[in-house]
Amino acid sequence: MKKHVLNWRLSILLSLGFLFVASLYSLCSGSADIALKDIIPTLLKGGGTPEFSILFDIRIPRIMLGFAVGGSLSLAGVILQGMFRNPLVEPYTLGISGGAALGVALCIILGLHRISPDFAMPLFGFAGAFAVALPVSLINIRKGMVKTEGLLLTGVMISYISSSIVTLILAVSRTEDLHSIIFWIMGSLEEPSRALIFIICSLSLVCLGLSYLFSLDLNAFALGEEEAIHLGINIEKTKKILFLIASVLTGVSVSIAGIIGFVGLVVPHFVRMIAGYDHRVLLVISFLTGAGFLIFCDTLARTIISPVELPVGVITGILGGSLFVYALSRKFLMR
Amino acid sequence: MIIEINNFTCGYGSKVILNNIDLRVEKGEFVGIIGPNGSGKTTLLRGITRLARSFGGAVHFNGKDIKEIGFREFAQNIAVVSRDIPSTEMTVEEYVLLGRIPHYRQFQFFENGKDIEIAEHCMEITDTLKFRNKYISRLSSGEVQLALIARALTQEPVLLLLDEPTAHLDITHQVGILDLIKKLNREFALTVIIVLHDLNLAAEYCDRLVLMDRGAIKKVGKPEDVLNYRDIEDVYKTVVVVETNPLSSKPFVLIVPEEVRKQCKK
């Protein structure tokens, strides 16, 4: 018994360390290089200096957003993979991202993003996400029972439908709109509104706490839904709440940061390979590792060919995908 | 009366599988459910555990309608060893500890000393302590069954439901598993309801047998009353010979291949 508690502490410490290092790396790098040892003096000195505003107004908000979005997406991934007992499920499988993309695309071609640049796009993204999540869940909740396979299939189908409509919108939109839609879809951690950043940060932490209440239920789900019932779990209630938490996490992340792929699929997988099946530790480590991973990828995205900033989704895709293939091949070799 | 089934009809979706079942099980009994494939043995268990849909009648557990019992309370009293083999990457100990979930207090996320003590005790009884750190996926079929029973016992149930725990096992393990369940039944007054395919195992171990046929109960009684060639031939549609085990004086059932049947007719 003692052994796994030790492993848990170690893995939590490791993921915290990774998050910390990634944040420091992100603080230091950029078009203006600020040395590691200068960070604390600059911040302590207070406002006024250009270094202070770079750190405080540009880099720290980005890190906070990376923390919230990365953490949210991989937390949603762990929850959904555990709930569906399917390692290939990710937050975007349920069609939420497709809906958000559709909402934002509509917002842009209607020109509404010019009215209130800070809030219109996230609002439409969120509305789109829920316009999809709602029918997906309503179709599959019959007589109080959630049909798990149906939820997946309808989610995938609705994704296809909404991405076709987005393609249609792209085909008929003007060049400058085209550019904004595509850049939004590829995802970015650039977010001017402090308020939104604070909202998503606190929301993601609240969702982490809420989902932790169901960590034992998720462990029991690993045995199958019927066995979970035998262990005294009200699976229908649990599934509904977890689906809601995952939808909120995904919907909010996507509507603020766009569709940043792979974090919600790869990080939970990777963490599960290292820390085992137990959700009492998986939920926390996934959140922390996802947060660190996205902060790290975002730093790469804005520094690799600076001053040009790459879409962060490209980096998470390439890095996450290669890590995943590597980890899988290792896993097969070990068998 | 620990289980009282009255005029119970159940099934799945809109399909009725069991029709107007009546059955009473006393505390401390060891009851076997037998019958051909598709006769509703498993559905009877699932009716008790509420996994089958009820269309009428009622099942009472300790005088309380099972529909009224909360999930947690249910799992604190009734444990199920089903045919599903856990396919997860878990060690035996981690798996057995899941049996404590129904007993956790609200906001308790981690097992305390008492939970571990109970889990260890259950692993000791089932002789699974020696592979407590092995992964479930690496166990033999016999070892998996023992681990399943250890997890069920960790729930500290008063009623244990088992669905063919001896399927796919050799005779040593069949006898081992059933001896263990019998011991639990006798020493801890654990009530057992068990689905068995093997009529001879059922005859040797069960106090009472429930013979099922096409969604109804054909006969209930002591093994020597239920296992007579007329009822068995009627339900299973095959020719059998019923003899008595000279050591236990329980009935045993022999099958007769078609070739032999033809020769006998001649």
pLDDT digits 0-9 by tens, A179-208 = 888 888 888 888 778 888 999 999 999 999
Q: Chain B partners of A1 at a C-beta cutoff of 8 Å?
A: 93, 111, 116
Share of chain B above pLDDT 70, in %: 100
Q: Is residue A88 over pLDDT 60? A: yes
Is A232–B76 a contact, with Cβ atoms under 8 angstroms apart? yes
CA distance A183 to A188: 8
Q: Which helix (H) or strand (E) holds A25?
A: helix A2-28
* Per-residue confidence band for B106, with pLDDT thresholds at 50, 70 and 90: confident
The least confident of A268-277, B116-125, B210-219 is A268-277
- Mutation site, A3, A218, A223, interface B, largest B CB count within 10 A: A223
Q: Is residue A6 over pLDDT 70? A: no
Chain B interface includes A277 (CB < 8 A): yes
Of B75, B84, B93, the CB nearest to A232: B75
Is B84–A224 a contact, with Cβ atoms under 8 angstroms apart? yes
- To the nearest whole Å, the CA of B145 is away from the closest chain A CA by 15
Phi, psi angle pair for B196, to nearest 5°: -130, 140
Q: Chain A, 208-267: which have a CB under 8 Å from a chain B CB?
A: 212-213, 215-216, 219-220, 222-224, 226-227, 229-234
Is B98–A230 a contact, with Cβ atoms under 8 angstroms apart? no
Contact A109, A150 (CB under 8 A): no
Which pLDDT score is estimated for A2? 44
* Per-residue confidence band for A112, with pLDDT thresholds at 50, 70 and 90: confident
Is A219–B89 a contact, with Cβ atoms under 8 angstroms apart? no
Mean pLDDT of B146-150: 95
CA dihedral B112, B117, B122, B125 (to 10 degrees): 170
Cβ neighbours of residue B43 under 8 Å, at least 6 residues apart? B10, B11, B17, B18, B52, B215
Is A216–B104 a contact, with Cβ atoms under 8 angstroms apart? yes
Which pLDDT score is estimated for A133? 84
Size of interface A-B (CB pairs under 8 A): 64
Predicted TM-score of the model (pTM): 0.91
Closest CA in chain A for residue B161: A230
The least confident of A3-12, A314-323, B107-116 is A3-12
* Per-residue confidence band for A334, with pLDDT thresholds at 50, 70 and 90: low
Mean pLDDT of A239-256: 91
Mean pLDDT of A128-153: 82
Is A229–B71 a contact, with Cβ atoms under 8 angstroms apart? yes
DSSP for residue B99: G
Which pLDDT score is estimated for A136? 83
Alpha helices, DSSP H, located in chain B: 41-48, 71-77, 92-97, 113-125, 141-154, 171-187, 199-205, 223-226, 229-236, 258-265
Of B88, B102, B110, the CB nearest to A223: B88
Interface of B to A at Cβ within 8 Å reads 49-51, 71-76, 79-80, 82, 84, 86, 88-90, 93-94, 98-99, 101-102, 104, 107, 109-111, 116, 155
Contact A211, A203 (CB under 8 A): no
From A221, A230, A219, select the one nearest B161 (Cα to Cα): A230
Sheet holding B191-195, edge to edge: B78-81, B159-163, B191-195, B30-34, B208-213, B216-221
Query: So where are chain B's domains?
Result: 3-224
Q: Is residue B104 over pLDDT 80? A: yes
Strands annotated E in chain A: 141-142, 145-146
- Mutation site, A83, A218, A229, A231, interface B, largest B CB count within 10 A: A231
Q: Is residue B118 over pLDDT 50? A: yes
SS3 B166: coil
Which pLDDT score is estimated for A3? 52
Which pLDDT score is estimated for A76? 95
Q: Is residue A306 over pLDDT 80? A: no
Taking only Cα atoms into account, the Rg of chain A, rounded to an integer number of angstroms, comes to 20
SS3 B36: coil
Alpha helices, DSSP H, located in A85-119: 96-109
Chain B interface includes A1 (CB < 8 A): yes
From B202, B153, B193, B148, select the one nearest B174 (Cα to Cα): B202
Q: Which helix (H) or strand (E) holds A227?
A: helix A225-230
Taking only Cα atoms into account, the Rg of chain B, rounded to an integer number of angstroms, comes to 20
Q: Which helix (H) or strand (E) holds B160?
A: strand B159-163
Task: Provide the mean pLDDT of chain B.
Answer: 93
CATH class of A2-334: mainly alpha
Closest CA in chain B for residue A276: B89
CA distance A108 to A111: 5
* Per-residue confidence band for B51, with pLDDT thresholds at 50, 70 and 90: very high
Which phi-psi region, left, alpha or beta, contains residue B191 (left: φ > 0; alpha: ψ -120 to 50)?
beta
Which pLDDT score is estimated for A1? 42
Q: Is residue A335 over pLDDT 50? A: no
The topology under which CATH files domain B3-224 is Rossmann fold (3.40.50)
From A165, A170, A194, select the one nearest A58 (Cα to Cα): A194
* Per-residue confidence band for B16, with pLDDT thresholds at 50, 70 and 90: very high
Q: Is residue A4 over pLDDT 80? A: no
Cβ neighbours of residue B117 under 8 Å, at least 6 residues apart? none
